[in-house]
Amino acid sequence: MPRISQGGGHQTVITTFETSPGSCQDLLEALTEAYDAFISKQPGFIAAGLHVNDAQTRIANYSQWSTREDFQAMLRSDEMRRRNRGFNTLCKGFEPVMYEVSATFGAD
């Protein structure tokens, strides 16, 4: 499961997909299948979560990787390039962005 922690040494990737209520479920199913069949089996994958807003116009994907290079290798694979072309037909656009955790907050 994803663990948000400062200084954990992991690579965090947040990807937002701009979609529509008519295609949101199709995109969510395609993303879920990609994680089940391919992404979660790649070297360096730690965990991920998919989030849908109430209006079903955005999907946010939070994923963690051991290193930046692990994520980039997965993203550049032929399999992921093919899948990304399919995702692109189900949304107006998407962008993966890599982050470092700067601070965390939560109840104990």
Q: What is the pLDDT of residues 82-99, one digit of tens each?
A: 999 999 999 999 999 999
State residue 1's pLDDT score. Answer: 61
21 or 100: which leads in pLDDT? 21
- Percent of the chain exceeding pLDDT 70 equals 92
Task: Supply the pTM of this predicted model.
Answer: 0.90
Q: Where are the domains of the chain?
A: 11-99
Nearest to 36 by CA among 44, 28, 12, 24: 28
Question: 11-99: which CATH architecture?
Answer: 2-Layer Sandwich (3.30)
State residue 43's pLDDT score. Answer: 98
Pair 65, 72: CB distance under 8 Å: no
Q: How confident is the model at residue 10 (pLDDT cuts 50, 70, 90)?
A: confident
Distance CA 71, CA 64 (A): 9
CA distances from 46 to 18, 54, 88 (A): 25, 27, 25
Q: Dump pLDDT digits (tens) for 32-45.
A: 999 999 999 999 99
State residue 102's pLDDT score. Answer: 85
Pair 64, 2: CB distance under 8 Å: yes
